[in-house]
Amino acid sequence: MLKKDLILIKEGLTEFYIHNIDQEAVPSKSMNVFYNKRMEINRDISILAINAYNELYHQKNLIIIDSMAASGISSIRMINECKNIKKIFINDINPEAVKLIKKNIKLNNLEKIPIQIEISQKDANLLFSEIATNKGKHSSETEKKPNVISIDPFGTPNLYTDSAFKALQNINGLMCITATDTAVLFGVRPNVCFRKYLAKPLYTEYSKEIGGRILLYFISRIANINKMGIIPLLTFYSGHFIRVFCLTFKNKKQISKSFENFGYIIHCKNCGYRSSINNSILKIPKECPGCRNRENLDYAGPLWIGRIHEINFINKMLKLNEISKINYKKRIEKLLTFAIEENNKPLSYFNLHKLSQILKLTSVPKIKNVINIIKQKGYQASRTHFDLLSIKSDLDISLLKKILIDTQK
């Protein structure tokens, strides 16, 4: 391909080429080489997460696998913006993508830097399995498994998770996984979710959180069968994807203890009651604890009911964000702050617009005011990064409805 068929664009401080014909295309599989400007925030957050991981878990000499690199923008930004990288595998199955990655490496003058860059055109599972077994070209790397693996597929990451865990460092490895099949995880296609993620989703006002928790549960179970457990560091929803950053551990007792994070959410479609249930499906009640209705009680799960973020980790990301030069700085600060606030709150959230509609209110009360009123009444309340029109609280939905009605008086 000639240079005139390429167009130069910029993300953060990094310039790179994409194909001219892809510039106006709707981001999809049919692009010559995939690029989605809307995923810039995903790459920004990944860079902050890798730098936070580096500082908090004292990882020197990072070995990173960017298993589905497309134009290579994420890898090149990592090289430019992350510290302590020793080696990076930049891989994509698409031959056009690999040609473009090579051009972008050259454009950024990265051919002769001390970081080892290994570009390949393989199925991600093959690459992971070669690295896990130290086969093929990677036999010189016998000393250490990769510390960081990024999986960023079209749709579900379910097919790659097992071999990725086999390749990753089993203590303090950082697994970064994106899922873009949000309709599946959010309950629009429940059977597909059950097939792909082994869990029943639920289409509700807080489906995004349920979807994130199903993804975490799935990743955790695949880690478990590889004799590892996971600690979720950040579980992040934006636009049309969920990205999970989690840390590995291999202590068997700790793995058994982490099963406490598995459970179910029950939800009444009649009155909106919701709560979580630890571990056993037998604990799901037959009637709604709120309105005693027996017909409309539904559930989601199994899913992750424990904490979905580590506060220390997010605080470190916030500090790094403050001094960074990334474009989405303000938006990331807001989302990470909401992630901290939501972390110790009950599962699920209440969408004020939807509730106001149901209650036929003439106007939607200000979210800040409602949070203050709930707190004054002695309950917990916060925003949530999953939905900027919603609040998390431990108060009962009937009481919340009363508060909303009272704001109109």
Ligand X SMILES: C[S@@+](CC[C@H](N)C(=O)[O-])C[C@H]1O[C@@H](n2cnc3c(N)ncnc32)[C@H](O)[C@@H]1O
* Closer by beta carbon to ligand X, 67 or else 384: 67
Q: Which residues bind ligand X (CB under 6 A)?
A: 34-35, 39, 43, 67-71, 73-74, 91-94, 97, 123-124, 152-154
Taking the least distance from each CB to ligand X, the nearer of 162 and 298 is 162
- Give the CB-nearest residue to ligand X: 68
| Shortest Cβ 291–ligand X spacing (Å) | 43
Nearer to ligand X, 153 or 346 (CB): 153
CB closer to ligand X out of 33 and 268: 33
Handedness of CA 156, 161, 167, 172 (dihedral sign): positive
- In contact, 352 and 389? CB cutoff 8 Å: yes
CA–CA gap between residue 119 and residue 91 (Å, rounded):
6
Tokens 């090289």 belong to residue: 79
- In the complex, least distance from residue 42 CB atom to ligand X, rounded to whole angstroms: 7
What span, in angstroms and rounded, lies between the C-alpha atoms of 192 and 206?
19
Return the closest-CA partner of residue 310 out of 63, 57, 74, 59.
57
Nearer to ligand X, 121 or 293 (CB): 121
Angle formed by the axes of helices 329-342 and 40-56, nearest 10°? 60
Based on CB atoms, which residue is closest to ligand X, 93 or 110?
93
C-beta neighbour count of 9 within 10 angstroms: 15
CB of 117 to ligand X, least distance (A): 16
CB 297 to ligand X: min, Å: 38
Least Å distance between CB 27 and ligand X? 8
| Cβ closest to ligand X, residue 182 vs residue 343 | 182
Assign 200 to helix, strand or coil: strand
Greatest Cα pair distance, the chain, in angstroms, is 73
Three-state DSSP class for residue 79: helix
Shortest Cβ 235–ligand X spacing (Å): 19
- The label of the residue with tokens 């690459």 reads 127
Q: Return all residues near 222 (Cβ < 8 A) that are at least 6 apart.
A: 161, 162, 165
Q: How far is the CB of 82 from ligand X (least distance, A)?
A: 14
Label residue 13 exposed, middle or buried (CB < 10 Å: 0-12, 13-18, 19+): exposed
19, amino acid identity: H
SS3 189: coil
The minimum distance between CB 76 and ligand X, in angstroms, equals 10
Residue among 93 and 367 whose Cβ is closer to ligand X: 93
